[in-house]
Amino acid sequence: MNDTPSIPRMAVNLARDMGRWAIAGAPVSPQELIKERLDACNICEFFKNERCMKCGCHMKAKASMVTARCPLGKWAK
């Protein structure tokens, strides 16, 4: 399994996701959506220690942002 992205890459990923989320008015995902997203993460080969090894994000936090996206397209919404 790959290591997490570099710190500069993770910063860019975080800034992109946070910017998109802030522009949308910082909407929080409903619990059902968070569960669906984390269920997809839990079976992903790139999910380790609550973190995505592709984008470097802590997925509990990312899953709660309505506008966030899985870097591999594994989230339905």
Q: What does the pLDDT look like over 3-62, one tens digit per residue? A: 889 999 999 999 999 999 999 999 999 999 999 999 999 999 999 999 999 999 999 999
Instruction: Evaluate whether residue 69 is within a structural domain.
Output: no
Q: How far is CA 28 from CA 2, 16, 19, 40, in A?
A: 30, 17, 14, 18
pTM of the prediction? 0.86
Range of 32's domain? 7-63
Query: What is the amino acid identity at position 66?
Result: V
Instruction: Evaluate whether residue 28 is within a structural domain.
Output: yes
Residue 43 token pair: 């079976």
Instruction: Evaluate whether residue 68 is within a structural domain.
Output: no
How many separate domains does the chain show?
1
pLDDT at residue 25, rounded to an integer: 97
Instruction: Evaluate whether residue 32 is within a structural domain.
Output: yes
pLDDT at residue 6, rounded to an integer: 92
- Give, rounded to a whole angstrom, the gap between the first and last alpha carbons of the chain: 26
Instruction: Evaluate whether residue 75 is within a structural domain.
Output: no
Instruction: Evaluate whether residue 54 is within a structural domain.
Output: yes
pLDDT at residue 76, rounded to an integer: 77
